[in-house]
Each structure stands twice: as structure tokens, then as C-alpha cells.
Amino acid sequence: MLSNYLMVLKYVLLSMRPEQWIKNLFVFTALLFSKNLLNLSKDIEAITGFIIFCMITGGTYLINDLADLEKDKLHPVKSQRPIASGKLRKTTAIKMVILVCCLGLFLAFHMSFFFGIIGLAYFLLNIGYSLYLKSIVIIDVITIAAGFVLRVLGGAAVISVTASQWLVLCTILLALFLGFSKRRHELVLLEGDAAGHRSVLEHYSTYFLDQMISVVTASTVICYALYTMSRDTVEKLGTSKLIYTIPFVLYGIFRYLYLVHQKEKGGSPTEVMLTDKPIIINVSLWVITVIVFIHIKH
């Protein structure tokens, strides 16, 4: 009996896709780009916010798998997911959705009302995506980008700071870049079966996606560069040296484009972040450099 419960718990956890929770690191953006990183109480609040977002995110992945059950059965990879393969019953998944999401939202409102509102907005946005928005061309990727923005805003709310408009804009553009790159990978991977797996893909083409990727790529770099040189940024953070972190951003985007176009990767930004050593090293150096410039006295 115990082994059965443990097996169900394992499949529930797999369906919540913990490997995707790396996206919730965007919750720490406000903490990183403020002078609160060395404040232990703020660190604890940010970590708590991260855990809550992981709970809500996990619940939305369960909902997404339930909504896409029939389509996932036709996918070469997604058909192996617990719900699509039948290893996790639909009734069990529904019960876990109610438990995890309700608990996550309760804890979010307990942290602060504004953080709770953001958590609820994120949850509803993902419900809308799973049920309808994912089938509307361009809006599907914008919805994904909005989810990243809510993570950033949630991270700011939970530590009681105001998120920089520049960082919000950078987040939108970066998320669009990753989203359109993912659509391109899906289109290339599934070829003629693309529309059968994800109906919105019939409205995309590699040429069209390459055009949009080019736009958001340039915009992301320019926006981040302007942020580092902004007078408000320099005055708020007390340093003008963030401009020296631009090479890391450039390399990261160029490396990702290389993986998308030359290695036919990019279908899962999370997988790239966890497996591509140059990307991992580059992001680590960028974070360390930002911490040194903002948080360590010179």
C-alpha cells in the first residue's frame, strides 16, 4: 500500500515538472537588482515566494497536461508523461491540482495581499493559456511572456520593493525571444505533424518566426544596455558598472541562437539552461558580476 502511494506521489511530482521550476528563478530578479540581497529577512521572503510560485506552477502544469491529454498522446515525447501514458489517473491529478493550487494561493495571500493577487493572476493566466490562449497565434507566446513578468513582479512584491520598468521590459523581450525560439523548434521537430500536436503552429512558419526572433533579439540587447546606462539605475543602485555585464547578455543570446539554428535545440529553454555548459557558465558569471557591482562595496 505504501509503495503504491509513493509511486503515485512520484508521478504527481513528475507531472508538476520540477525541472521547469528553474523559470521561477525570475522571482529573484528584484532581489538581485536591489540592495536587499545581503538582507537575510528579504532573502527568506524571496525564497518563500519562489517556493509558492513553484507550487502554483506545478499545479498549472497538471492542468495543462489534463487539458492536452489527447494531443499529448500523439507527441513523441509528451506521450511518456504520467497522465498521457495512463500512469497517473485523471481523478488523482484533479485532486492534486485542487490541493496544490489552493495551498499555494493561500500561502501567497498570507505573505501579502499584492503578492497573492499576482499569484492568482499567474494561475488564471495559465488556465486561460491551457484552455484557449495557446491556440491564438502570437498571443500564445505573449501569454508565456506575461507569466515571466508576473514572476518578476511577484518577486518584487514579496520583498516590498518596486520592480524597475526597465527590468520588466527586459523580461518581456527575453521571454518573447525564448518563446518564439521554442515555437520554431517545435515546428522543425514535428514537421508535417506540427499542427496536429499544437494547432497554433499551422499559423507559424520558420521564416515568420525567424523575423520575430530577430526583432526581439535586438530589442532585448538594446533594452538591457539602456537599463545599465540609465541615470535612474545608476542613482538607485549606486554604480555605473553594470554596463560591463552587457557582454554576458550578448554571448548568452548568441549562444542560444547557435543552439536553435545550428543544433536544432531550443524546444525547452529549461533543458538548455540545465545542460549546456557554456550557457551555465555564462549565466553564473553574469550573476556573480552583477552581485559584485551592486552588493559588494568597492
Phi, psi angle pair for 35, to nearest 5°: -100, 40
- Tens-digit pLDDT profile for residues 241-268: 999 999 999 999 999 999 988 877 766 7
- The tens digit of pLDDT for each residue in 33-86 reads 988 888 899 999 999 999 999 999 999 989 888 887 777 777 777 777 888 877
Mean pLDDT value across residues 120-128:
93
CATH class of 1-162: mainly alpha
pLDDT tens per residue, range 151-164: 999 999 999 998 88
Which of 148, 131, 159, 132 is closest to 43 using CA atoms? 159
Sequence-distant contacts of 200-207: CB under 8 A, at least 24 apart? 200/134, 200/135, 200/136, 200/137, 200/140, 203/137, 204/137
pLDDT at 1: 64
Task: Provide the 8-state DSSP code for 266.
Answer: -
Average pLDDT, the chain: 88
Quick: pLDDT tens for 74-103.
777 777 788 887 788 888 888 888 999 999
- Do the beta carbons of residue 143 and residue 88 sit within 8 Å? no
pLDDT at 297 over 70: no
Domain residue spans in the chain? 1-162, 164-298
pTM for this entry? 0.89
